[in-house]
């Protein structure tokens, strides 16, 4: 029965697209009729997408993490961890009870030590956009705008590079004999002295020239070493949870806003996890009251980000993860998923009005079914032409087309 539904949906989707192209390209079609047809096509596209994905998941049980899960449920699954500054037995108990009280199922939990985090470069991959410039890549591998570099520092980029005057933050610490806190102090001096330049999001370069008996050097993202040290210093650890829940009962947005709480714990609902850690920090044994940076907890911002985090922190294989397999089944390649896992800037939408945005931001706060639909749209189906209504892009029609061709 499901195969007949899929085949009929494919045929309907393709027929709709053919009819859409004919109608939209016809000079005799009135503007009002074209707009109405476009709206109908968009609505059909959205309905087709939701129906296909919902039935696909229900039939193949992609999101159920256990065989007995009801097919009517659409599962969300996130990666959550208590940050190093807040890891105490009391905090673990509070978080465990709090997650379960909100209707979430804990699939697994455990500790990752500073040694594991350091050797696996886990925090570096977690903050890839920042860490890639600070620890993972060498200066010659970075896309530095030469004119901006020379305009700020008065020396050519290639000249500085060939002279051995440019370092990532990790190598700069070794070169200058600094620890993470000392590098952070030198970075602050450079910032105060106006010797920093921002090349892009999470991409900074600073002239470090205040270390006694050391020649001046140019350093990328020197601030990251102090952030990293919180996770890799002796005795540090995180305590993680893999959780799941029915998205019809709790949306991803509510999971982050009501269950976890906003980034600033001072603004968090009192019964949220961050809100409770903020108000009970002394009884929980924390050294200081949480703030925006040290806010007690982290949680994935979308189902895709959760997949990337499970792959990074826990070493889960893409094909062994339910959501990862669902993305593969939706036609998104393993190569694309791996490239997306470090949050690149992606471009999608119409040629006339393209959208250029972080991949993680593009999928933020979506539930699993919509996350896959949007991922399919971003990935694109080069064999289907998007339908336009006047100058605007009918997103639903495109998503419907992707679903019709992909399943």
Tens-digit pLDDT profile for residues 162-192: 999 999 999 999 999 999 999 999 999 999 9
pLDDT in tens, 221-260: 999 999 999 999 999 999 999 999 999 999 999 999 999 9
Query: Among candidates 47, 105, 119, which has minimal Cα distance to 73?
Result: 105
CB count in 10 Å sphere of residue 299:
21
Helices 169-176 and 224-232 cross at an angle (nearest 10°) of 90
Per-residue confidence band for 57, with pLDDT thresholds at 50, 70 and 90: very low
Cα separation, 311 vs 365, in Å, equals: 19
Cα separation, 20 vs 37, in Å, equals: 8
CB count in 10 Å sphere of residue 319:
9
| Residue 399 clears pLDDT 70, i.e. is over it | no
Place of tokens 């995180």: 238
Cα separation, 171 vs 191, in Å, equals: 20
Integer-rounded Cα Rg, in Å, for the chain is 25
| Residue 392 clears pLDDT 60, i.e. is over it | no
Which residues are bridge partners to 75 per DSSP? 246
Integer distance in angstroms from the first to the last C-alpha of the chain?
A: 15
Cα separation, 366 vs 372, in Å, equals: 9
pLDDT in tens, 327-378: 999 999 999 999 999 999 899 998 899 999 999 999 999 999 999 999 999 9
CB count in 10 Å sphere of residue 161:
19
Structure tokens at 29: 């079609």
The alpha carbon dihedral of 188, 189, 192, 196 has a sign of: negative
State whether residue 308 is helix, strand or coil.
Answer: helix
| Interval 190-197 mean pLDDT | 96
CB count in 10 Å sphere of residue 282:
10
Strands 196-200 and 354-358: unpaired
Q: Is 59 exposed, middle or buried (0-12, 13-18, 19+ CB in 10 A)?
A: middle
Q: Is 358 exposed, middle or buried (0-12, 13-18, 19+ CB in 10 A)?
A: middle
| Residue 397 clears pLDDT 80, i.e. is over it | no
């Amino acid at each position: 029965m499901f195969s007949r539904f899929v085949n009929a949906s494919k045929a309907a989707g393709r027929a709709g697209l053919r009819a859409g192209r004919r109608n939209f390209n016809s000079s005799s079609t009135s503007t009002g009729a074209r707009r109405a047809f476009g709206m109908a096509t968009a609505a059909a596209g959205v309905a087709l997408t939701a129906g296909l994905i919902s039935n696909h998941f229900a039939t193949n049980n992609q999101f159920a993490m256990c065989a007995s899960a009801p097919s009517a449920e659409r599962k969300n699954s996130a990666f959550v961890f208590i940050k190093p500054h807040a890891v105490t037995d009391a905090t673990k108990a509070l978080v465990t009870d709090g997650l379960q009280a909100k209707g979430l199922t804990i699939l697994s939990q455990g500790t990752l030590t500073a040694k594991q985090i350091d050797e696996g470069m886990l925090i570096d991959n977690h903050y890839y956009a920042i860490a890639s410039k600070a620890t993972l890549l060498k200066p010659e591998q970075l896309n530095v705008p030469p004119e901006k570099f020379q305009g700020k520092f008065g020396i050519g980029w290639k000249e500085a590079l060939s002279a051995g005057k440019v370092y990532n933050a990790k190598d700069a610490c070794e070169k200058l004999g600094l620890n993470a806190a000392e590098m952070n102090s030198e970075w602050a001096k450079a910032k105060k002295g106006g010797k920093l330049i921002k090349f892009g999001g999470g991409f900074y370069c600073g002239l470090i020239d205040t270390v006694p008996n050391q020649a001046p050097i140019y350093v990328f993202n020197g601030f990251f070493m102090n952030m990293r040290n919180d996770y890799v210093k002796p005795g540090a650890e995180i305590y993680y949870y893999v959780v799941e829940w029915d998205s019809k009962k709790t949306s991803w947005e509510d999971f982050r806003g009501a269950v976890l709480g906003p980034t600033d714990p001072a603004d968090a609902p009192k019964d949220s996890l961050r809100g409770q850690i903020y108000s009970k920090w002394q009884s929980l044994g924390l050294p200081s009251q949480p703030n925006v940076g040290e806010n007690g907890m982290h949680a994935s911002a979308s189902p895709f980000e959760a997949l990337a985090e499970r792959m990074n922190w826990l070493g889960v294989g893409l094909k062994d993860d339910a959501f990862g397999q669902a993305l593969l089944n939706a036609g998104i390649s393993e190569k694309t998923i791996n490239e997306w896992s470090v949050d690149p800037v992606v471009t999608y939408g119409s040629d006339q009005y393209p959208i250029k945005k972080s991949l993680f931001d593009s999928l933020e706060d979506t539930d699993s079914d919509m996350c896959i639909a949007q991922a399919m749209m971003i990935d694109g189906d080069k064999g289907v032409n998007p339908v336009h209504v006047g100058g605007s892009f009918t997103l639903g029609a495109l998503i419907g087309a992707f679903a019709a061709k992909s399943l």
